[in-house]
Amino acid sequence: MSKKLAISKLFLYRYRFIIGFTLLGLAFAGLLFGLPLLSPGGLSDAEMQSAVTSAHLSSTSILNGEVVDLPYHALQKLSITLFGLTTYAIKLPSIIIGLLLGALLILLLNRWFKTNVALFASILAVLSASFLYLAGSGTPLIMLVFWPTLLLWLGSKIQGVVKPKPLYCFLFAFALLGAIFTPHLIYLAAFIVIFALLHPHLRFTIKTLPVAPLVITTIIILLGLAALVTAAVINPAIITELLWAPDFSLSRFWHNLSTAFLPFFSWNTAIESVFLAPLVGLGSVALAIVGLLSTAKGFFASRNSIASCLIVFTVFLAGLNPESAILLLLPLAILIAHGLRYILDKWYDLFPDNPYARISAIFPIAIFLSVMIISDLNHYAFGYRYVPMVADQFTSDLALARQHLTPGTTLYVVNDPDALAFYQILGSELDLTVSDTLPAADQLPEHFATLGHQLDDPAHLSQIITSPKSDNSDRIYLYTLTQPSEGETE
């Protein structure tokens, strides 16, 4: 007995969880804000399109029904306005939301599981390559995971509480509104309503809610649905965007599934995708399988069935749009926690009265977690830079243009309408003229540049700006008509 007391009085033992979560938070925040410098080295086409949508956002566009992913685009527009059109400014909204998402995931796991299980599962979840990619991608894709996580955490604060706070009910209603304005999550809203009505525990919770918060929450949701219907009437194009991918057809459903989940579990890195395969490590998959099997007996407990139902729901969404498969990260995190809980419980059952044997489990677990985390970070940092099929999906042209183009230069972006719209934003900021049409030779400006398009006039080529990539490394060609010189490579 004295030995148990001696161990419990140790400083590291008494504050082990506070220290653990503090170190996790510092490491997580440091990694997130350093992501644009770490990997991947540039912007994808989706990130550039997102920046264009955000930069053109205005009160007029909102009145015209352009409300899809509105919170994200508003935050990205603010970031671009404050810091200019830079790689970091484009990715900053995802970093901020990723920080909130990581905190919500840690809080959710800590509420559903014992503190030790929540700590280990949180480490594997928020420091994984898949989560880091999601938090470092300057697109609204992160909202597909953020809203369900927020809804689950708010639901956990309401369900099982004798007198839930009205604030959580109101926040749940607003989060549900944010979800229905996010592509494909309108199905999640319907799923939550049906699941709550069918599940006995959740149905009992709804019946015991105070009348006033329940009525106000219902009114908020109905007003949000009315706003959605109004926006759809004004701008019918958002219906397709919210319900499925623009090019979706029933014949493509199974093809979308294979495209969606191949990067998650494939060990073949030769996949043309922004997702680095495998997006989920073998150790995490093994823990998730253990967690899934361990919850079979208590499936109808709300937190157990939620993970399994979310997997089925994610498969359905991935058939509509392959990008939606990223939602799998949420149920995987829950199942990993279940797997860790099962393993720790079995270990403790072997040594119910031996504190030293129980504590000794820390060492193999620490080694296991360290190997998984270090391999995941290396996989993320080096994979996005050196795996050709993935690295080719990102371009560093923006950084090169900001570094080498001077005010007054004319930049020609030929045969690429999406890139043209993106660099027109940069042109407004740096006083550049951006055009997609090359004039006749006698009408060319004194100094101009072309993006990825070399002219058949090497005499006036003054400089070639290159990227570190092996394919298409010549990115920007600088020309001057007054001082022709031999081309040189930088």
Give yes or no for residue 111 having a pLDDT over 60: yes
Predicted pLDDT of residue 1: 45
Q: What pLDDT does residue 7 have?
A: 56
Asked if pLDDT for residue 240 goes beyond 90, the answer is: no
Give the Cβ contact number of residue 126 at 10 Å: 25
Distance of CA 242 to the CA centre of its chain: 18
Residue 40 preceded by cis peptide, ω within 30: yes
Is residue 235 a contact partner of residue 66, using CB atoms and an 8 Å limit?
yes
- pTM for this model (two decimals): 0.87
Concatenate the DSSP letters of all residues of 355-396 into one string.
HHHHHHTHHHHHHHHHHHHHHHHHHHHHHHHH-HHHHTT-B-
Query: Could you tell me how many residues make up the chain?
Result: 490
Q: What residues pair up with 395 in beta bridges, in sequence order? A: 43
Distances in whole angstroms, Cα of residue 23 to Cα of each of 32, 130, 374: 14, 21, 16
The angle at the Cα of 93, spanning 88 to 94, to the nearest 5 degrees, equals 95
Is residue 300 very low, low, confident or very high in pLDDT (cuts 50, 70, 90)? low
Query: If you count DSSP H runs as helices and E runs as strands, how many of each does the chain have, helices first?
Result: 25, 5
List Cβ neighbours of 297 (8 Å cut-off, separation of 6 or more): none
At a CB cut-off of 8 Å and minimum separation 6, what does 179 contact? 147, 148, 151, 185, 186, 188, 189
- Rounded to whole angstroms, the Cα distance separating 408 from 203 reads 65
Compute the distance between CA of residue 230 and CA of residue 219 in angstroms, rounded to an integer. Answer: 16
Q: For residues 362 and 344, give the distance between their C-alpha atoms in angstroms, rounded to a whole number.
A: 10
- Higher pLDDT residue, 337 or 23? 337
Which among 283, 286, 290, 264 has a CA at the least distance from the CA of 375? 283
Q: What is the pLDDT of residues 301-347, one digit of tens each?
A: 656 677 788 888 888 888 888 888 888 889 999 989 988 888 888 87
Instruction: Spell out a b/e string for 439-467, using b for 16 or more CB atoms within 10 Å of the CB, else e.
Output: eeeeebeebbbbbbeeeeeeebbbbbbeb
Mean pLDDT computed over every residue of the chain: 82
Between 105 and 14, the higher pLDDT residue: 105
Tell me the CA end-to-end span of the chain in Å, nearest whole number: 72
DSSP character at residue 276: P
Q: For 164-179, how does the pLDDT look when each residue is reduced to its tens digit (9 = 90+)?
A: 777 888 888 889 888 8
364-390 residue pLDDT tens: 877 888 888 888 888 888 888 887 778
CA torsion through residues 167, 106, 331, 131, sign? positive
pLDDT over 80 at 159, yes or no: no
Find, among 337, 314, 311, the residue nearest to 117 by Cα. Answer: 337
Return the H-helix or E-strand segment holding 255. helix 253-265
Q: CA–CA separation, 183 vs 248, rounded Å?
A: 13
